[in-house]
Amino acid sequence: MLNEGRGGRIMKGISLRLALPTAILAIVAILAIAFSAAGRADDMGMAASSKQGLRAKLEYCKTCHGLSGQGYHGYFAMPRLAGQQTKYLENQLRAFIERRRTNPVMFNVAHAISPSMLTALAAHFRDLDPKPFGGAPKELVARGKPIYEDGVPEANIAACSACHGPEAKGQDEIPRLAGQLFPYTIKVLTNWSKERGQGPASDTSAIMTPTAHNLTRSQIAAIAAYVSNLK
């Protein structure tokens, strides 16, 4: 009887030792599930927060750039962002932050945008495609077409299409010009050296400096008119 009692206690000890790892594994599994669920909840919360933040930023952008990023006609023409190249938009927002591009309003706006938000905004506007405003004088549109496509060799003005493409949709850091507001393009090309390539840092806009300098006001107006009507 004593042996049986001792043997029973031994068996119970063995059973307990065998059951203990199983219980621990069960607890670990439960904790893993709980943490996983919490992690998913956190991820969902962060995603919702990011979407909410993006919507808030877009509402702010719409104030100046229009409901669909189509630009705004007013006392100061605001540029079309819709359909713009993402790399170009990201680069320009960074240029405002780094003072490579002069614009006090946009410096304050861009300075408050995180890198991830900057990328999200650029992607959003790239996918928009509203109808261009147009409205430029028709005679200027006709004059602008050959300048855009072939340049003016005798004035050392390269063809715009060489970089911006035959449809003026740009590529990577080269901006889309198609559908850009007529008065805005005039303003940008007229004031190029005063607004772009500022500061000590290198800037891709430097490539445009000679061309903008060599263009006459009438040629600038003609190019602006032509690209404003492109879709």
Residue 45: strand, helix, or coil? helix
Query: What is the tens place of the pLDDT at every residue in 62-81?
Result: 999 999 999 998 889 999 99
Q: Is the pLDDT of residue 28 over 60?
A: no
Q: Is the pLDDT of residue 25 over 80?
A: no
DSSP structure string for 50-74: HHHHHHHHHHHHHHHH-TTS--B-S
What proportion of the chain, given as a percentage, has pLDDT over 90? 60
Phi, psi (degrees; rounded to nearest 5) at 170: 70, -175
Q: Is the pLDDT of residue 102 over 50?
A: yes
Q: Is the pLDDT of residue 45 over 60?
A: no
* Mean residue pLDDT across the chain: 83
Give the pLDDT mean for 131-137: 93
Give the pLDDT mean for 146-173: 96
Give the pLDDT mean for 101-126: 91
Q: Which residues of 98-109 are buried (b: 16+ CB within 10 A; e: fewer)?
A: bebbbeeebeeb
Give the pLDDT mean for 159-169: 97
Structure tokens at 133: 């405003």
pLDDT given for residue 49 in this prediction: 52
Structure tokens at 51: 């979407």
Give the pLDDT mean for 181-189: 97
DSSP assigned state of 196: S
pTM above 0.85, yes or no: no
pLDDT given for residue 216 in this prediction: 97
Q: Is the pLDDT of residue 176 over 90?
A: yes
Task: Name the more confident of 74 and 140.
Answer: 140
pLDDT given for residue 170 in this prediction: 97
Q: Is the pLDDT of residue 14 over 60?
A: no
Task: Name the more confident of 43 and 153.
Answer: 153
Q: Is the pLDDT of residue 44 over 80?
A: no
Tell me what percent of the chain is helix, strand and coil, each rounded to the nearest 5. Answer: 65, 5, 30
pLDDT confidence tier of residue 27, bands split at 50, 70 and 90: very low
pLDDT given for residue 9 in this prediction: 55
pLDDT given for residue 7 in this prediction: 52
pLDDT given for residue 48 in this prediction: 52
Q: Is the pLDDT of residue 225 over 50?
A: yes
Q: Is the pLDDT of residue 220 over 90?
A: yes
